[in-house]
Structure 1
């Protein structure tokens, strides 16, 4: 594939005829992408260690080969070795999810520990420079390079390229749900190319949501070996007994296919899922969600320090925005509203005023025009919004004063959307689980479409955050918030 006259490192994966080449084309781009990641990690590490070695080693030229040269090349080899041992280049984790960056961070932490132990053993006075400067700089450089490669990969996937061909096997309803999800989120890299169901195709050329039904569930292994699918996605169906799943796994041995089984607990994932062998039986263990403890304490510290730093950083912008709001229409610069926080406790949220004075009283007159989903009240072209307010809402600048709510402890940087008291009063028992954690300045709802999402999807995302919360998930959400703010999707 050519882009601007330059060959792309990620060749397209198309749906070829059943001739045994489908899996081969997927393997080609996977291997090229893996080589691109390894190359970028190696070059980024070399750039950092050589820059530090040359800059500081020039001051000690007499001992360059004896001391600085050994530290420079030793650090390079150590980082590459820990990346290999930590399986940070495994194809299964490259290009999607937080696991790729988690393994990269674990490898660099291991390298820092080894450097520290080596420095103590050799009584090197310069080892702190490599631990506290070189390793963090390598982390920043390699993560940035990987993120840029991932963005390019995701663009290719949205165009229908660089996708893993999937054979879905299960009931028509669960397979249809899988097809819908893979089409909605192409950046995850799956494309369902064929389907096997309990009864198989009733007619020649039968399709399920545009995907051909190629056989029965008992035929899965044969189709995988013939057409070389990269993923076998097993969705719920009464046919799948433990014995049949085990037999399918045996029959897939020796192929390039990865077998993925969808558990019944679809909305529980991440650090709460553990596979344990008990009495020789593999069991999926679901741990309780954590609402207290050490990780929550770390989150609280990050919230306070992060909000304080952001307030200082954005202070000039907030001052300018406040003056623009005052100049644009009558009323104060800030808007205060009661919201419901953790455990149902109410607090006053701060925002820049984006509507005319008395907008709350005019809401009843606009009730028939409501475009919000579920309990939300939203209008795409709300006549109460001011000219400055429209711009502030478009880029979420009106929410910057909520940093003071985070600083005082009523909110968190990441969490569910803070509901209004009347919304909270209408919650059922399931939805009330959103109140088990502090509401957030940003969250899964904000980075997934905001007001454009159906009410059920917005609730599902908030509950997923409550159930599957982790520090790594918070980091990913904060990173993706920047892009969501720049695009302004669902912000009105």
Structure 2
């Protein structure tokens, strides 16, 4: 578990005296991290583009290796480097609000790179620059891959630093006790929240502590003294939770009070399970509007998802076929019965299909289930037993590393499943669904998904449903790629797999 800094109530002393004993400002940490990203981006782009330029020049014949050609390569190299770095800056790829969490940082890097080379392609075509082809064929893909990999390594480093209380913005949470407690609990449970709550401001309260879970957060002020408290505890951020008394007038006045301080103002929305890509802001004079897209379950986006499924599953089958043959032989030798286990599951819109898995239990597992129901450790409609006696020796290894699910690649190839999606339920589970839980059947179930990278069998039934419904309504191709990537990490360090 990440180690959290101990929360200590701020004494009523002058701001400079308090700040002397406190960790460095989160804004300062953000600047240092941004500088590291900038240096890394410059180094990667210079290395890739210069290398391509040198290879292009020296791979030509002796007639082309003239001062004129050398000058062209130098000019093109300088132009590509400058354009690439400028677009990365213009797209705010190092913005503190996007680095370290989510996929937006990676999307901005890719979009900025694509735009830079798109504009360069037009310019080179107009001016007929023949030496530029290698930059598009080699520098662009290698450069993007290198930038994304570097960002990923820096993110891992950043998350590790945050476990020690570094690179966190110091925050005060403002609002009613209920709303403040909710926001603090969410911040503490999300590793990418990037906030360290140093105090709360509640109506009518100016002293004491607010107990949230296992921690006690100091109450630093009432709603009238937020700006002074933010300065006293060196807060980087003031988070307004929910809709405090006074509504929009309160928020506007608070913004005025924070002018001249180092703190920024953040509004916490209770739009439950609505992801950023579905939220759009439309400023109208005097009336800022927030548009929330309605989920759609047909159309071009889903065609692209199916294309990705077919491509990935076909390549995976070819690459993993030798491993799957070995696993099948091990399963057969370990216990009597077939290597493959077929089970009816519910797919999109409740249509049933035969899901394939490597058999990880004894052949009589389904008949033996009745005698184990009283030992069920699962929640909701799920049956889970950590030390299930039906699991074979080979099955325990297969389950631990999710190798028993490899045959589902075939289900994804023929269209019964998707590579990424909700957990495929049994028909008996679907019969027990109540209310909105049926919405998890609006898209195809997946080989992997949020449930697999978030704890699997260790999740409660409610949390499993919440993750599936969140995915159904907010999925994206970029998000799918991120889930696939995180699945490999989960397999290497399995949790909740039994």
- Give the TM-score range, shorter chain: over 0.9
**Matched residue SS, 2:434:** coil
Cα separation, 1, equivalents of 2:246 and 2:460: 32
Contact 2:421 2:443 in 1 (8 A): yes
The answer as to whether partners of 1:234 and 1:261 remain within 8 angstroms in 2 is: yes
Q: Indicate the larger mover: 254-263 or 21-30.
A: 21-30
Given the alignment of the two structures, is residue 214 of structure 1 paired with residue 217 of structure 2, yes or no? no
Deviates more, 1:156-165 or 1:179-188: 179-188
Q: What residue number does 2:287 align with?
A: 281
Deviation at 1:405, TM superposition (A): 0.7
Distance across 2 between alignment mates of 1:92 and 1:490 = 31
Deviation larger for 388-397 or 125-134: 125-134
Shift of 1:240: 4.7
Q: Which residue of 1 aligns with 2:408?
A: 402
Q: Which of 192, 205, 208 is the matching residue for 2:208?
A: 205
Q: Deviations over 1:366-390 (max 9, x none)?
A: 1011111211111111111111111
1:38 aligned partner: 38
Once superposed, what is the RMSD of the aligned Cα atoms?
A: 1.9
Q: Distance in 2 between matches of 1:357 and 1:233?
A: 56
Instruction: Tell me if the contact between 1:13 and 1:163 (Cα under 8 Å) persists in the aligned partners.
Output: no
- Structure 1 CA distance for aligned equivalents of residues 388 and 5 of structure 2: 45
Residue-by-residue CA offset, 1:169-208 (whole Å, 9 max, x unaligned): 112122222222222223431111101112214xx43333
Equivalent residue for 1:132? 137
Q: Are 1:386 and 2:378 matched, yes or no?
A: no
Q: Match of 1:6? A: none
d(CA) in 2 for partners of 1:284 and 1:266? 14
Distance, in Å, in 1 between the alignment partners of 2:56 and 2:333 is 53
Deviation string 1:406-462 (CA, Å, 9 cap, x unpaired) is 111111111111110000111113100101111111111111111111111111111
- 1:297-308 correspondence runs (5 A): 297-308=303-314
Aligned mate of 1:177, from 152, 171, 182: 182
Aligned equivalent of 1:457: 463
5+ unaligned residues in a row in structure 1: which ranges? Answer: 1-11
Counterpart check, 1:253 vs 2:288: no
Do 1:108 and 1:139's aligned partners in 2 also have CA atoms closer than 8 Å? yes
State yes or no: 1:53 paired with 2:53: yes
> 2:367 aligned with 1:333, yes or no?
no
Instruction: Tell me which residue corresponds to 1:231.
Output: 237
Tell whether the 8 Å contact from 1:166 to 1:193 is kept in structure 2 after alignment.
yes
Point out where structure 2 has 5 or more consecutive residues left out of the alignment. Answer: none
Provide the rounded CA distance (Å) in 2 between the counterparts of 1:491 and 1:153.
Answer: 27
What TM-score results when the alignment is normalised by the length of structure 1?
0.93
Name whichever of 244-253 and 73-82 sits farther off: 244-253
Is residue 345 from structure 1 mapped to residue 357 from structure 2 by the alignment?
Answer: no
Kindly indicate whether residue 447 of structure 2 is the aligned counterpart of residue 444 of structure 1. no
Cα contact 2:458–2:496 (8 A) shared by 1: yes
Structure-1 residue corresponding to 2:250: 244
C-alpha separation in 1, matches of 2:46 and 2:373: 61
Counterparts of 1:395 and 1:198 in 2: how far apart (Å)?
50
Moved more, 320-329 or 248-257: 248-257
Of 266, 269, 282, the match for 1:263: 269
- Could you report, residue by residue, the CA deviation over 1:233-267 in whole angstroms, capped at 9, with x for unpaired residues? 11124515122112222322333323221223122
> Are 1:73 and 2:78 matched, yes or no?
yes
Q: Displacement of 1:15 after TM fit?
A: 6.5
Structure-2 separation of matches of 1:290 and 1:306: 24
SS at match of 2:483: helix
